[in-house]
Amino acid sequence: MLLSPSTPVNSAPELVFHSQLPTSLSWRTSTADERIGRLKKIRNWIKEHQQDIRDAIKNDFGKPEPETDLSEIYPVTAEINHSIKLLKKWMRPISVSTPLPMLGTSAKIYLEPKGRSLIISPWNYPFNLTIGPLISALSAGCTAIIKPSELTPHTSELISKMISELFPPTEVSVALGEVTVSQALLQLPFDHIFFTGSPAVGKIVMKAAAEHLSSVTLELGGKSPVIVNQDADCKDAAEKLIWGKFVNCGQTCIAPDYLLVHNSQLDNLISELKVALQKMYDPDFKGIETSPDMARIVNDKHFDRLRNSIEEAVTKGAKIAFGGKFDHQTRYIEPTILTHVSDEMQVMQEEIFGPILPIVPFSNLDEAIAYVNSKPKPLALYYFGGSTEQSSKALQETSSGNAVINDCVIHYIHTELPFGGVNNSGIGKAHGYHGFMAFSNEKGVLKQRVGLNNVTLLRPPYGIRAKQIIASLIKWF
Q: Cα Rg for the chain, rounded, in angstroms?
A: 25
Q: How far is the CB of 476 from ligand NAD (least distance, A)?
A: 46
Contacting residue, 17, 61, 123, 433, with ligand NAD by CB under 6 A: 123
Task: Give me the residue whose beta carbon is nearest to ligand NAD.
Answer: 221
Q: Report the largest interatomic distance among the alpha carbons of the chain, rounded to a whole angstrom.
A: 91
Give the count of beta carbons closer than 10 Å to the beta carbon of residue 408: 24
User: Per-residue string for binding with ligand NAD, 426-445, x by CB under 6 A?
Assistant: x-------------------
Cα separation, 344 vs 347, whole angstroms: 9
Q: Binding-site residue total for ligand NAD (CB under 6 A)?
A: 27
Which one from 142, 234, 249, 253 is the annotated catalytic residue?
Answer: 253
Chain mean position to CA 443: 25
Give the count of beta carbons closer than 10 Å to the beta carbon of residue 25: 13
The answer to the question of residue 198 lying near ligand NAD (CB under 6 A) is yes
Pick 339 or 400: Cβ nearer ligand NAD: 400
Give the count of beta carbons closer than 10 Å to the beta carbon of residue 471: 10
Pairing of strands 224-228, 116-120: unpaired
Q: How far is the CB of 8 from ligand NAD (least distance, A)?
A: 16
Three-class DSSP category at 387: coil
Instruction: State which of positions 370-389 bind ligand NAD (CB under 6 A).
Output: 379
Cα separation, 314 vs 259, whole angstroms: 18
Give the count of beta carbons closer than 10 Å to the beta carbon of residue 376: 15
Contacting residue, 20, 155, 196, 265, with ligand NAD by CB under 6 A: 196
Q: Contact region for ligand NAD (CB under 6 A) — 11-19, 31-39, 60-68, 182-190?
A: 182-190
Three-class DSSP category at 341: coil
Contact, 373 vs 394, CB < 8 A?
no
Q: Which residues contact 128 (CB under 8 A, 6 or more apart)?
A: 71, 72, 73, 75, 76
The answer to the question of residue 54 lying near ligand NAD (CB under 6 A) is no
Three-class DSSP category at 332: strand
Residue 253 bears catalytic tag: yes
Q: Which long-range contacts (CB under 8 A, 24 or more apart) does 129-132 make?
A: 129/196, 129/219, 130/159, 131/42, 131/46, 131/76, 131/159, 132/75, 132/76, 132/79, 132/430, 132/431, 132/435
Cα separation, 28 vs 20, whole angstroms: 13
Contacting residue, 130, 182, 214, 217, with ligand NAD by CB under 6 A: 182
Q: Contact region for ligand NAD (CB under 6 A) — 59-67, 190-198, 284-292, 451-459?
A: 190-198
- ω into residue 461 within 30 of 0, thus cis? yes
Pick 38 or 411: Cβ nearer ligand NAD: 411
The answer to the question of residue 238 lying near ligand NAD (CB under 6 A) is no
The answer to the question of residue 197 lying near ligand NAD (CB under 6 A) is yes
Residue 178 bears catalytic tag: no
User: Per-residue string for binding with ligand NAD, 150-179, x by CB under 6 A?
Assistant: x----------------------------x
Contacting residue, 7, 19, 117, 124, with ligand NAD by CB under 6 A: 124
Q: How far is the CB of 305 from ligand NAD (least distance, A)?
A: 11
Cα separation, 378 vs 121, whole angstroms: 20
Pick 129 or 297: Cβ nearer ligand NAD: 129
Which value, to the nearest 10 degrees, does the dihedral of the CA atoms of residues 83, 85, 87, 92 take?
-150
Query: Residue 164 phi/psi, 5° resolution?
Result: -70, -25
The answer to the question of residue 206 lying near ligand NAD (CB under 6 A) is no
The answer to the question of residue 204 lying near ligand NAD (CB under 6 A) is yes
Cα separation, 386 vs 262, whole angstroms: 13
Pick 109 or 179: Cβ nearer ligand NAD: 179
User: Per-residue string for binding with ligand NAD, 257-286, x by CB under 6 A?
Assistant: ------------------------------
Q: How far is the CB of 224 from ligand NAD (least distance, A)?
A: 9
Which one from 72, 79, 171, 219 is the annotated catalytic residue?
Answer: 219
Instruction: State which of positions 339-358 bind ligand NAD (CB under 6 A).
Output: 351, 353
Chain mean position to CA 91: 23
Q: How far is the CB of 377 from ligand NAD (least distance, A)?
A: 13
Give the count of beta carbons closer than 10 Å to the beta carbon of residue 199: 18
Contact, 106 vs 450, CB < 8 A?
no
Q: How far is the CB of 47 from ligand NAD (least distance, A)?
A: 25
Query: Residue 438 phi/psi, 5° resolution?
Result: -60, -30
Instruction: State which of positions 91-120 bind ligand NAD (CB under 6 A).
Output: 120
Q: How far is the CB of 149 from ligand NAD (least distance, A)?
A: 4
Give the burial class of 390: count Cβ atoms within 10 A of its Cβ; 0-12 exposed, 13-18 middle, 19 or more buried. Answer: middle
The answer to the question of residue 221 lying near ligand NAD (CB under 6 A) is yes
Instruction: State which of positions 393-422 bind ligand NAD (CB under 6 A).
Output: 421
Residues in contact with ligand NAD by CB under 6 A are 120-124, 129, 147, 149-150, 179, 182-183, 186, 196-198, 201, 204, 219-221, 253, 351, 353, 379, 421, 426
Q: Tell me which residues are annotated as active site.
A: 219, 253
